[in-house]
């Protein structure tokens, strides 16, 4: 990555703020959907074309790295293609889309960043369409697919456990996790590689059965183990994410290789 490069984070939320902190000593802009007084904050809503001209402040920047971290549920697909074309008018060096491993489906199998997708839900279909639109738009584009993100103030299932609610899902199903700081480091690393692969997969590499995960969280919160229900909306056994290929190709290594270590520092 060139030393004079600039950065733009589209959607600076829970994960984006971690990435912003890693880029603290570099020139980095980030977007908000409401106006702020912060100097490098840009008012921008990817679903509101009238705000796109605020990107003009970056028109003279060279080797710009874009990180699109807007949640897929907040993306209007009808406008997304036009927004990508607007982004492509900038002098980009790398365009990284942060995505999800949901595109690999719920079949009980091991998947890595070279695995075939398995579109078995509306959420997976939507995510896959977003990925394809992004990758087809620019030769500098790539995707980082992340497992379930957790960390301080974001413990998966915490509210349900605290409220004594049942968990909708197969207790023997697999969960794939990644600590928010490890996810941010992987995204940053992907932006630094001279020629990254088109797709990388971020997880801690230690799939955990749903019942074991919730048992640990319940014990840490000093709450009873929740019940599980399985209905037609329940998630199935699920995939198991393998991060070895991504580690080999990027040199990234997760600090939290076991969710218990990460959770103990987060609860």
Sign of CA dihedral 128, 134, 140, 143: negative
pLDDT tens digit string along 36-87?
A: 778 889 999 999 999 999 999 999 998 999 999 999 999 999 999 999 999 9
For 129-223, strand residue ranges (E) read 141-146, 148-150, 167-168, 174-175, 177-179, 199-202, 208-209
CB 227 within 8 A of CB 170: no
Q: Among 4-8, 219-223, 237-241, which stretch is predicted with the lowest mean pLDDT? A: 4-8
- Residue 58 makes CB contacts below 8 A (sequence gap 6+) with 6, 8, 29, 64, 90
Cα distance between the two ends of the chain: 36
Query: What pLDDT, on a 0 to 100 scale, did the predictor assign at position 234?
Result: 61
DSSP label at residue 235: B
And the tokens for 87? 């982004």
- The Cα–Cα gap between 241 and 56 comes to 39
pLDDT tens digit string along 201-211?
A: 999 999 999 99
Q: Where are the domains of the chain?
A: 6-150+179-203+243-255
SS (H, E, C) 37-55: CCCCEEECCCCCHHHHHHH
CATH classification code of 6-150+179-203+243-255: 3.40.50.720
pLDDT mean over 218-225: 95
Question: What is the pTM (predicted TM-score) of this model?
Answer: 0.94
Sign of CA dihedral 54, 60, 61, 66: positive
CB 186 within 8 A of CB 127: no
Query: What pLDDT, on a 0 to 100 scale, did the predictor assign at position 26?
Result: 73
Query: What pLDDT, on a 0 to 100 scale, did the predictor assign at position 265?
Result: 82
pLDDT interval class at 233 (50, 70, 90): low
pLDDT mean over 134-156: 95
Residue for token pair 């829970």 = 14
CB 19 within 8 A of CB 184: yes
For 221-263, strand residue ranges (E) read 228-229, 240-241
């Amino acid at each position: 990555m060139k030393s004079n490069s600039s950065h733009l984070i589209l959607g600076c939320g829970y994960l984006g703020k971690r990435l912003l902190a890693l880029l603290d000593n570099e020139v980095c802009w980030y977007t908000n959907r409401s106006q702020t007084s912060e100097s490098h904050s840009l008012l921008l809503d990817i679903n509101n074309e009238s705000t796109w001209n605020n990107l003009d402040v970056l028109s003279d920047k060279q080797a710009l790295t874009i990180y699109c971290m807007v949640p897929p549920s907040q993306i209007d697909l009808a406008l997304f293609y036009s927004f990508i074309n607007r982004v492509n008018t900038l002098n980009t060096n790398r365009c990284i889309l942060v995505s999800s491993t949901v595109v690999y489906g719920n079949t009980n199998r091991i998947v890595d960043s070279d695995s075939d997708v398995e579109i078995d839900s509306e959420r997976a279909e939507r995510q896959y369409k977003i990925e394809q639109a992004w990758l087809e738009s620019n030769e500098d584009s790539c995707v980082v697919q992340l497992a379930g993100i957790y960390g301080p103030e974001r413990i998966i299932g915490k509210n349900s456990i605290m409220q004594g609610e049942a968990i909708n899902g197969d207790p023997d199903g697999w969960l794939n996790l990644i600590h928010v700081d490890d996810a941010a480091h992987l995204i940053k690393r992907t932006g630094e590689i001279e020629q990254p692969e088109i797709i990388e997969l971020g997880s801690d590499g230690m799939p955990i059965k749903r019942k074991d995960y919730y048992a640990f969280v319940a014990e840490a919160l000093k709450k009873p183990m929740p019940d599980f229900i399985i209905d037609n909306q329940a998630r199935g056994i699920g995939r198991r994410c393998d991060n070895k290929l991504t580690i080999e190709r990027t040199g990234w290594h997760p600090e939290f290789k076991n969710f218990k270590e990460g959770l103990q520092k987060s609860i």
